[in-house]
Chain A
Amino acid sequence: MGFLLTEEQTMLRESALAFIAEQSPVARQRALRDDAAPLGYDAALWQQAVELGWPIAALPESAGGLAMGHAGLGAIFELMGRHLAALPLLSHSVLAAELLLQLQDGAQQQRWWPLLAAGDGRLALAIDESQRHLPQGFKTTAQASGDGWRLDGEKWFVIDGVGARWLLVAAQVAGEAALFIVDAAAAGVTVTPLHMADSHNHARVRLDAVQLPADARLELHDAATALERALDCARICLAAEAHGIAREVLERTVAYLKERVQFDVPIGSFQALQHRVARLYCEVELLDSCVRAALSAIDEDSSELPLLASLAKVRANDLCERLLNEAVQLHGGIGVTDEFDLGLFLKRARVIGQTLGDTLYHRDRYARLKGF
């Protein structure tokens, strides 16, 4: 199992670090929120990321990618977490890309793969239909209609759904999972922004008698399996982002404990507080290992991928809940002011925790995978 980055991946990480720190510091995220930016991200910044090749960083060369693997892309997600950078990488370059990479049909590959490198025809996956992640539970249906298909249903919490050019929609066809690619501008498609605590791009998508051509159904070996793999890749990338948030917030908190003076001494000299942050540090290191192992499991196509994805997601969820709460408490009153950045981290971390499976979902899945 690879825990170390290759030389190329390290270079990618370092260039990403410079780019994000300069172009998308936390202040940028605050400005997007204050301006109620409709996309939740900066379109010009996304274009720059496209030019740097980030959307295709993890893709194999055969699909026109940079072959940096998910270990390389995961390093970018970690940095996005550290700086709260909002970019539609998860929806476009992980969820959609993983599904399109599994296309069995040559004509569909030729048509859709080039879109991955071009950021303007952005893709998003529409799967969940309630407030909780339930990837097998969708009720949206597709029925044969004329030469093609007719799609009906409603999708909630579509990640980066606002402004996506193409929607990958999970639907039931005679009780089986299938995936359709839908032009967001097609008749019967309504995309409504959902305003969430993290100010990122989430959408509700209504599909009312949407008429699709026959080749809108993606030719996959097994749509349910393909979906599961794509979701696992995304869960791991979310865990990488959460790891970045956790490390950043821990570092900020430790720095604060060193400089904040009360009772004539830095509060970081109090053992009661030292032990609390020391325990958080342990958890951050454990999460780091889980995230790296899970990222490398994607690249090695390991049979442990589902197990490691659930492990990474649970630990990211649990740690983020605990660490952000502790960070607020240790900062005292300033920690709950909007002026201070901590709240932005708190909100983003909580949305990550609920996205693509909360702790109970993944602990249950881990137990099932372990055979009990």
Chain B
Amino acid sequence: MSDNNSFRAEVAAWLEANCPASMRRPIVAEEMVWGGSRLQFQNEDQRLWFERCRERGWFAPGWPREYGGGGLTPKQARIVEEEMARLSCRQPQYNLGVWMLGPVLLEVGTEEQKREHLIPMMRGERRWCQGFSEPNAGSDLASLKTSARRVQDADGEAYIVNGSKIWTSYGDQADWMYALVRTDASARKQQGISFVLIDMHAPGVSVKPIELISGKSSFCEVFFDNVRVPVRQLVGPEGEGWAVAKKLLQHERAAMSKFAEGGAPSHDALAVARPYLQEAAPAQAAVWRDRLAAQLMDAHAFALTHQRVTAQAMARQDVSGPAAIMKLVQTEQEVAKYELLVQVMGLNGLSWEGEDFTALEHDICRQWLLTKTYTIGGGTSEVQLNIIAKRVLGLPA
């Protein structure tokens, strides 16, 4: 225990000395540093924070040193994360590879796969995207159709992949994709699926950004036209990709919580609303005030639940129930918050561009529209409710 305390003190001191003050403020969308071959920094503080964490292996403090991690025990790794959260340190890099794929490769990947993929992730040199969703599949994920036909050619054994993926976040920025493909069209729905890693620079891969109602978006459509994927890029046994994907989605919750802990761009509702409240006529201001207070209390209750689930999980209590509500509650609260802010701003909240309105007003309008994706992507609210009803409450199918 005292060892852990001295370790915690060391971590805190290091963070104090090495995390620049500007990296301890809430993140905004354009300041997120994504690792990858297109790695870019907007300022020196971002670069310093990124490089200092990389040197210590703190992109993933708990991974083995041989794959570029920090080599810490699980308890120590948690202390690093806790201290970073306590000091409001930003994530040094945003990387789905580190958060989602990495833990799966550590568990079921081959030695060759670990060396080939984990080390570049840890250097912040390779950016990953997720290729699960397909056009027409929607929430019925297992109905995916992208095919992977096994062949033997001059370069060895490989899959020839044809089809397309949709709603791929930052597909146009990614270097690699982890994807679900159908390796056996005759098998039952979830059984013919395999989990493969695809080089986004390979011949036959093309990417088209999707324009959304909020204007630009991070979402893309990805097309595969006879893309050759070497069999060594298959993760887990052929035909058992569904189980691998389920493992990966368990890590999505931890990744989501990194967003919830000040990682995701969001606005302080009270700060945004206050001036508009002051301008409103008294009778209306009273109603806005009540609604704003209700919204703040929702957010407060969610933040406390986040803390509680973390504390209970660390005490090894069963948190499967409350953990299952987090995605639903967090995303619906974000939706409700922006609905309220847009309305509090009146028509100024619906401004699109130009200098007649403030930058914040433009920003709120677009963020309001973007939040509409939150309750659809990553499992719709309806799917989340099904999960709670069936897995947590045990209601019959």
Contact = CB atoms under 8 A, between A and B. Distances in A.
B307 A269 contact: no
A3 interface: yes
A281 B392 contact: yes
Interface size class, chain B: 35 or more
Interface string B251-278: 0000000000000000000100010010
Interface stretch (B55-63, B162-170, B189-197, B293-301): B293-301
Interface in A293-311: 293, 311
Interface string B318-330: 0001100100110
Interface in B276-300: 277, 289-290, 292-294, 296-297, 300
B308 A278 contact: no
Contacts of A257: 395
A268 B325 contact: no
A274 B385 contact: yes
A287 B311 CA distance: 16
- Select the residue from B277, B297, B311 with max chain A CB neighbours within 10 A: B297
Please name the 4 residue pairs, one residue from A and one from B, whose CB atoms are nearest each other, closest first.
Answer: A274-B389, A278-B388, A289-B305, A367-B293
Interface in B116-134: none
B312 interface: yes
27 contacts: A3-B307, A3-B311, A3-B312, A4-B311, A4-B315, A258-B394, A258-B395, A274-B386, A274-B393, A275-B386, A278-B388, A281-B321, A281-B388, A282-B328, A285-B322, A286-B305, A289-B301, A289-B304, A289-B322, A293-B304, A293-B308, A311-B301, A315-B297, A363-B297, A364-B290, A366-B293, A372-B292
A22 B15 CA distance: 54
A292 interface: yes
Contacts of B385: 274-275, 278-279
Contacts of A282: 325, 328-329, 388
Contact of B393 (A281, A315, A364, A370): A281
Given A3-B312, A290-B304, A311 B297 contact: yes
B396 interface: yes
Nearest to A287: B301
A103 interface: no
B393 A278 contact: yes
Given A289-B307, A370-B293, 19 more contacts: A3-B308, A4-B312, A258-B394, A271-B386, A274-B385, A274-B389, A274-B390, A278-B386, A279-B385, A281-B392, A282-B328, A285-B325, A286-B302, A286-B325, A288-B305, A289-B301, A289-B305, A314-B297, A363-B293
A290 B301 contact: yes
A315 B301 contact: yes
B296 A366 contact: yes
A269 B396 contact: yes
A292 B305 CA distance: 10
Contacts of A287: 301
A287 B301 CA distance: 7
A266 interface: yes
Q: Interface residues of A: mostly helix, strand, loop or mixed?
A: helix
Interface string B71-83: 0000000000000
Nearest to A310: B297
- Select the residue from A271, A281, A315 with max chain B CB neighbours within 10 A: A281
Contacts of A44: none
A110 to B, nearest CB: 40
A367 B292 contact: yes
Interface in A357-372: 360, 363-364, 366-367, 370, 372
Interface residues of A, number: 36
B347 interface: no
A289 B395 contact: no
- Select the residue from A282, A311, A367 with max chain B CB neighbours within 10 A: A282
Contacts of B392: 278, 281
Contacts of B382: 275
Contacts of B274: 372
- Select the residue from B274, B308, B328 with max chain A CB neighbours within 10 A: B308
Interface string B325-344: 10011000000000000000
A238 interface: no
B1 interface: no
A264 to B, nearest CB: 13
B310 to A, nearest CB: 9
Nearest to B310: A3
A361 to B, nearest CB: 11
B154 interface: no
B293 A269 contact: no
Given A275-B389, A292-B308, A372 B289 contact: yes
Contacts of B394: 254, 258
Contacts of B322: 285, 288-289
A271 B311 CA distance: 33
